[in-house]
Amino acid sequence: MPSEPFGLKELIPLLEQDVVRTLGVRYRAIIHDAAANVEMMGGVARCEKLVEDLQQYFQDNLGDTSWPACPRHPSHALSYRDGAWWCDRDAVPIAAVGDLSA
């Protein structure tokens, strides 16, 4: 299994679905801004970097330190890995990216 099955192009519309469903449509544009930044920087693990940048943005602008919230432990954020959202505490995948519950 490749370590990064998605490129940014595949990831962006799925991330949009998750952001719109959980935070609202007004935050859709920030995904494209963040993705443009990540693309300019180049390097590996760009999908992970994009998600981290978004999480940082929501923390800075919404005071939301746990987006996306883990359904098992609501006090921490899920981590993005390999096209899925993971609970690091239990080391289990919670949902495919794009398939997050509201």
CB 77 within 8 A of CB 70: yes
Q: Does 70 bind Zn ion (CB under 5 A)?
A: yes
C-beta closer to Zn ion: residue 28 or 76: 76
Q: Does 32 bind Zn ion (CB under 5 A)?
A: no
Give the interface segment with Zn ion, choosing from 5-13, 18-26, 27-35, 64-72 (CB under 5 A). 64-72
The alpha carbon torsion through 64, 25, 3, 65 (nearest 10 deg) reads 0
Contacts with Zn ion by CB under 5 A: the residue count is 5
C-beta closer to Zn ion: residue 20 or 95: 95
Q: In Å, what is the CA distance from 96 to each residue of 19, 37, 54, 92?
A: 13, 24, 17, 12
Residues that bind Zn ion (CB under 5 A): 70, 72-73, 87, 89
